[in-house]
Homo-oligomer: A and B are copies of this chain.
């Protein structure tokens, strides 16, 4: 069967980008089941285009990390959870950029881990995308060494309006999602975000063509994206912290400081989630997670740090309809959408 659902293409104008989660009006209203085909600009607003474009010269905080959205999802009420399934995440350009930003990144003092030392030098690296080999090309600045990293596109930032009337800068990850920088937010994954305000108001951006675990310098291989996604509402279930689901695993993202607190949040949440949905006792689940987790460091360089607790489904009771089974439904639909697209091209 070829999916005939309408796919809404959305390319924001420069003035439409969002710079916070919360505190901004939606750019569109959508319905559960809708499929969107979005353009997201890179975290530099497209301003870093050559090695001569130093971040502090061409970008101006807080106009960094533009988000496409927010979207008001009809029927999403506080206490529900939005399910956003990433059907396809494709580089929108054949190049991408990475930089060092003064007083940002894990191996530098920062505005929060403040010292009296001089900042590291500012640099810009431009990467070439090679779709044939599914890779991005790194070229050293100070020598002729080059190498290729696998093209593994994902969205560094995806979130909803926060609770408690807050509006948060798009560089921040927290309970509402945001700048989590987890490579798990890739095509095929469903991201669950607890709804705090009517409509949920999700937005996304910060395309990464590839990234190392921990995003050490604070900046991935940053690029614009064309992303197809679908949206559902899980009624009556509230994800306190962002949950993710793939065909193979369930996950929770914890984002706070120090890094061990991000770990604690993510793992406490996944233990309690599994215990509740499977009927296993909390202590048995604690033991199971301790041996089964495939957790990953997402970033150690933002306003908060992020760790993603990840438990493969193969270690868990089968036939658990995680989040009411919405992932399987959305995945199948996504495959149909992509098959339909392919058929038409």
Task: Say yes or no: is A295 at the interface (Cβ < 8 Å to chain B).
Answer: yes
- CB pair A147 B213 closer than 8 Å: no
Q: Flag the segment in A34-42, A134-142, A187-195 that touches B.
A: A134-142
Shortest distance between the CB of A119 and any CB in chain B (Å):
7
* Whole-angstrom CA separation of A300 from B264 in the bound complex: 9
- CB pair A115 B216 closer than 8 Å: no
Counting every copy of the chain, the complex holds 4
Residues on B with C-beta less than 8 A from A336 are none
For A315, the closest partner residue in chain B by CB is B147
Residues on B with C-beta less than 8 A from A216 are 267, 286, 289-290, 293
Task: Say yes or no: is A125 at the interface (Cβ < 8 Å to chain B).
Answer: yes
Shortest distance between the CB of A251 and any CB in chain B (Å):
12
Task: Say yes or no: is A273 at the interface (Cβ < 8 Å to chain B).
Answer: no
Residues on B with C-beta less than 8 A from A291 are 98, 138, 149, 210-212, 220-221
Number of interface residues of A (CB under 8 A): 94
Q: Flag the segment in A69-77, A87-95, A159-167, A197-205 that touches B.
A: A159-167
Which one, B125, B140, B213, contacts A293 given CB within 8 A? B213
Task: Say yes or no: is A257 at the interface (Cβ < 8 Å to chain B).
Answer: yes
Contact indicator per residue, chain A 288-326, by CB within 8 Å of chain B (1) or not (0): 111111111100100001010010000111000000000
17 A-B pairs in the complex with CB atoms less than 8 angstroms apart? A61-B164, A62-B164, A109-B115, A116-B268, A116-B286, A117-B117, A140-B288, A142-B281, A145-B284, A166-B167, A166-B168, A212-B289, A216-B289, A220-B290, A256-B257, A257-B260, A258-B260
